[in-house]
Amino acid sequence: MPHTAPRRARAAAPGARASGKCRLLIVDGHSIFRLGLRALLNQEHDLEVVADAETTAEALQRLAATPVDVVITELALPDRSGLELLAELRKRRPRVKTLVLTGLRGDDYARSCLAAEATGYTLKSSSHTELLRAIRAVRSGERFLCEAVSSRIVTDFLSNVNAPLAPVRTTFISPRERDILTRVATGQQNRQIADALGLSVWTVRKYRQNLMRKFTLRNAAAVTAFAIGHGFVSADAGS
């Protein structure tokens, strides 16, 4: 009988589990985007999208039912913020890696994600190659920031992470104001907030103007920094 040489075991691809592909969960409010990203990533030999979700609530349901290695999430979601999802994942699934893939530009958004302990952060405007590099880096446990994010963000964050914040009289913030502040901080527009909360756009606009005047916040980036710095979008948010 001819001698059969033993088969050599294939080396695991970068970012893949030892027993198979890297399992991904996509969380984004736009179904067409989720479908397109799923099709794109499933072409890779070491990646597999095992589930997708439109909202934070759906994402947590998927995670309870499906083993996942990496969660890819947008910041602005229809029900709650992606930052709140990151906080829930830290509590419920600390071993799951997280990659923020967002259309929200600005250094403060990246800082917010670092504060929320996201494993990686990249933009929807990133190239296909950079996105794949981000997913594989995150899966291996590396911190990833896209090229569009300046290195000074990491330096500033690490140097100021323990810096004391100026006190703020948060007792003057009503539950409704807190909800709107959180949504504005994560990039939701007035129409999105109005639809989610059952309010008119005019009412949301007035709440927003009052909040920015009350705490001397000049723009949405300042709102984000304020909300993260004072704990409105953190592990305790929404609890």
Question: How would DSSP label each residue in 212-226?
Answer: HHHTT--SHHHHHHH
Q: Tokens for 106, please give them.
A: 């600005």
Q: Is residue 13 situated within a structural domain?
A: no
- CATH number of domain containing 31: 3.40.50.2300
Q: List the single range of 2-16, 107-121, 128-142 with lowest mean pLDDT.
A: 2-16
Q: What pLDDT sits at residue 236?
A: 36
DSSP code at position 46:
T
Q: Helix or strand or coil: residue 168?
A: coil
Longest Cα separation, the chain: 87
Report which listed range, 154-158, 167-171, 218-222, is most confident: 218-222
Percent of the chain with pLDDT over 90: 38
Residue pair 168/230 in contact (Cβ under 8 Å)? The answer is yes
pLDDT at 170 exceeding the cut of 60: no
User: Predicted confidence band at 152 (pLDDT cuts at 50, 70, 90)?
Assistant: low
Q: Does residue 123 sit in the same domain as residue 57? A: yes
The domain boundary, picked from 160, 178, 200, lies at: 160
The better pLDDT of the pair 218, 135 is held by 135
Q: Does residue 86 sit in the same domain as residue 47? A: yes
Q: Which domain holds residue 121?
A: 22-160
Q: Does residue 149 sit in the same domain as residue 223? A: no
Half-sphere exposure of 1 (CA within 13 A, CB side): 3
pLDDT at 108 exceeding the cut of 50: yes
Rg (CA), the chain: 20
Q: Does residue 120 sit in the same domain as residue 79? A: yes
User: Predicted confidence band at 156 (pLDDT cuts at 50, 70, 90)?
Assistant: low
pLDDT at 148 exceeding the cut of 90: no
The better pLDDT of the pair 211, 58 is held by 58
Q: Tokens for 210, please give them.
A: 């009052």
Q: Does residue 87 sit in the same domain as residue 117? A: yes
Cα–Cα distance, 69 to 58 (Å, whole number): 17
Q: What pLDDT sits at residue 153?
A: 60
Q: What pLDDT sits at residue 18?
A: 44
Percent of the chain with pLDDT over 70: 75
Q: Does residue 67 sit in the same domain as residue 145? A: yes
The better pLDDT of the pair 174, 181 is held by 181
Q: Does residue 153 sit in the same domain as residue 46? A: yes
Q: Tokens for 12, please give them.
A: 């695991």
Q: Does residue 156 sit in the same domain as residue 174? A: no
Q: What pLDDT sits at residue 51?
A: 97
Q: Domain count of the chain?
A: 2
**Residues 217-229: tens digit of each pLDDT:** 766 666 777 777 6
Q: Does residue 130 sit in the same domain as residue 201? A: no
Which pTM value belongs to this model? 0.61
Q: Is residue 88 situated within a structural domain?
A: yes
The domain boundary, picked from 127, 160, 193, lies at: 160
Cα–Cα distance, 70 to 157 (Å, whole number): 24
Cα separation values, 188 from 74, 75, 168, Å: 11, 9, 24
Q: Does residue 151 sit in the same domain as residue 189? A: no
Q: Does residue 34 sit in the same domain as residue 125? A: yes
Q: Tokens for 98, please give them.
A: 């997280």
Cα–Cα distance, 176 to 37 (Å, whole number): 35
Cα–Cα distance, 26 to 45 (Å, whole number): 18
- CATH number of domain containing 177: 1.10.10.10
As a whole number, mean pLDDT of residues 117-132 equals 91
The domain boundary, picked from 140, 160, 180, lies at: 160
227-232 long-range contacts, Cβ below 8 Å, gap at least 24? 227/112, 227/181, 227/182, 227/184, 227/185, 228/83, 228/111, 228/112, 228/115, 228/116, 228/185, 229/165, 230/165, 230/168, 230/170, 232/178, 232/181, 232/182, 232/185
Q: Does residue 149 sit in the same domain as residue 176? A: no
